[in-house]
Amino acid sequence: MMQIATADRISGIEEYYFSRKLQEIERMRRDGHDVINLGIGSPDLAPSAATIGKLHEESAKPGNHGYQSYRGIPELRKAFAAWYGRFFRVQLDPDREILPLMGSKEGIVHISLAFVNPGDEVLIPNPGYPTYESATKLAGGVARHYELTEENGWLPDLRKLEGEGLEKVKIMWVNYPHMPTGTRASAGLFDSLVAFGAGHNILVCNDNPYSFILNDEPLSILNVGGSRATALELNSLSKSHNMAGWRIGMVAGHSDFINAILKVKSNMDSGMFRPLQLAAAEALASPESWYGTLNAVYRTRQEVAFGIMDIMGCRYDPGQTGMFVWGRIPGHYEYATELSDKLLHEAAVFITPGMVFGSRGEKYLRISLCSDVELLKTAKDRIMQLI
């Protein structure tokens, strides 16, 4: 049989950690172990009844099943613009400055392909979302990690980066509110990032899907004056509206940037299902009470997760945001993988080790809040019995 070599661009790109871990958990379950998975941030709650009703209504219409515009339907673009105006105090042109996406993860790859040439450097947070690095490699870029530390409040040290030279840097990925640490965004941080990007001709991309979870003040980098010349922002309905599997996201920014991304996207898909887009527009029109009700659930779960961290002897910031709890392991463990594996194999509870997000996460664990309180309490009881 003839051997067909794979493309060089996928060398060094590993199977996603959670893909492998889910297979291990499934094997354990087949062997009779009742594994509780507190690892992945996939919301377990449903979208609003109005959102589901809209999908049902529009799916029944015969004319809604054909190809759609690569730019997304006007109703969805206008809904995203209204959402940004209402909650972020950012005015966006729905025809020129917004591009709906099949989830913001798609956007990370599209942005990388649209702007990164082979050899270009891309600044990637450590710890941070692994897709930033894999997308950079797929585009032929060079991943250059910048360290975030607990001592520095999990914020980038921009002066240090300037001292290390930025001549080859094309893109800087940032993600505030931050995953996995739960660090909040601030107006001062975004001011600094926009000035940094403008001063060094770097495209600063803020990945912003966690802005509504346990966070009373959603912020956007696009609220900063002059940001359109040097910044893009990704957002998503996955977390804020419990629509992770629906794959609805967006990228916003200057029309020139949007058009460049569209050149990639229009060669990758043929538009999103129209009823999904109309239902997403319905979700974006949800009243402020929707987010309050959702966050009341997450606050209750967060308290139980804090209790799990306490039992394990982990240190954590009680003011963190997002749908995870991030904590530093006690000193008698060298790496978080030791404690994570112990919990999985001896208590049948999976908690994500922070090394998934980079070397700066090696001494941290992340608990997902995407399980109901009773399941979290059961996990807490098992861990208490073990430790």
pLDDT one-digit tens code per residue, 40-56: 889 999 999 999 999 99
Helix (H, G, I), strand (E, B) or coil at 236: strand
Cα 59 to its chain centre, rounded Å, is 29
This prediction's pTM? 0.94
| 210 belongs to a structural domain | yes
Residue range of the domain that includes 337: 10-39+289-386
Shared-domain flag, residues 230 and 298: no
| 3 belongs to a structural domain | no
The pLDDT of residue 182 is 98
Any idea what the CATH number is for the domain that residue 381 is in? 3.90.1150.10
- Residue 221 and residue 231 in contact, taking contact as beta carbons nearer than 8 Å: yes
| 350 belongs to a structural domain | yes
The pLDDT of residue 3 is 81
> For all residues of the chain together, what is the average pLDDT?
96
- Residue 251 and residue 258 in contact, taking contact as beta carbons nearer than 8 Å: yes
Domain boundary among the residues 265, 284, 303 is at 284
Spatial distance between the Cα atoms of 127 and 357, rounded to a whole number of angstroms? 5
Shared-domain flag, residues 269 and 314: no
- Residue 90 and residue 76 in contact, taking contact as beta carbons nearer than 8 Å: no
Shared-domain flag, residues 169 and 315: no
Domain boundary among the residues 217, 249, 284 is at 284
Q: Give me the mean pLDDT over the 359-377 stretch.
A: 97
Shared-domain flag, residues 17 and 125: no
Residue type, 369: L
Shared-domain flag, residues 138 and 225: yes
Tens digits of per-residue pLDDT, 132-176? 999 999 999 999 999 999 999 999 999 999 999 999 999 999 999
116 vs 12: which has the higher pLDDT: 116
| 320 belongs to a structural domain | yes
pLDDT at 13 over 90: no
pLDDT at 35 over 90: yes
pLDDT grade for 77, boundaries at 50, 70 and 90:
very high
Shared-domain flag, residues 256 and 310: no
Shared-domain flag, residues 342 and 377: yes
The pLDDT of residue 22 is 82
Shared-domain flag, residues 275 and 293: no
Spatial distance between the Cα atoms of 97 and 251, rounded to a whole number of angstroms? 8
* DSSP conformation letters of 153-177: TT---HHHHHHT--TTEEEEEE-SS
| 55 belongs to a structural domain | no
Tens digits of per-residue pLDDT, 93-143? 999 999 999 999 999 999 999 999 999 999 999 999 999 999 999 999 999
Tens digits of per-residue pLDDT, 291-309? 999 999 999 999 999 999 9
Q: Give me the mean pLDDT over the 315-327 stretch.
A: 97
Instruction: Report the percent of the chain where pLDDT is more than 90.
Output: 93
Shared-domain flag, residues 276 and 296: no
Retrieve residue 13's tokens. 């790109």
| 4 belongs to a structural domain | no
Shared-domain flag, residues 319 and 195: no
Shared-domain flag, residues 272 and 296: no
Residue 105, phi then psi, degrees to nearest 5 = -60, -40
CA distances from 329 to 59, 183, 344, 365 (A): 48, 18, 16, 7
Spatial distance between the Cα atoms of 250 and 233, rounded to a whole number of angstroms? 8
> Angle formed by the axes of helices 131-138 and 104-115, to 10°?
40
Domain boundary among the residues 268, 284, 300 is at 284
Shared-domain flag, residues 136 and 216: yes
pLDDT grade for 1, boundaries at 50, 70 and 90:
low
Task: Count structural domains, the chain.
Answer: 2
Any idea what the CATH number is for the domain that residue 211 is in? 3.40.640.10
Distance between terminal CA atoms of the chain? 53
- Residue 274 and residue 68 in contact, taking contact as beta carbons nearer than 8 Å: yes
| 47 belongs to a structural domain | no
pLDDT at 2 over 60: no
- Residue 360 and residue 130 in contact, taking contact as beta carbons nearer than 8 Å: no
| 52 belongs to a structural domain | no
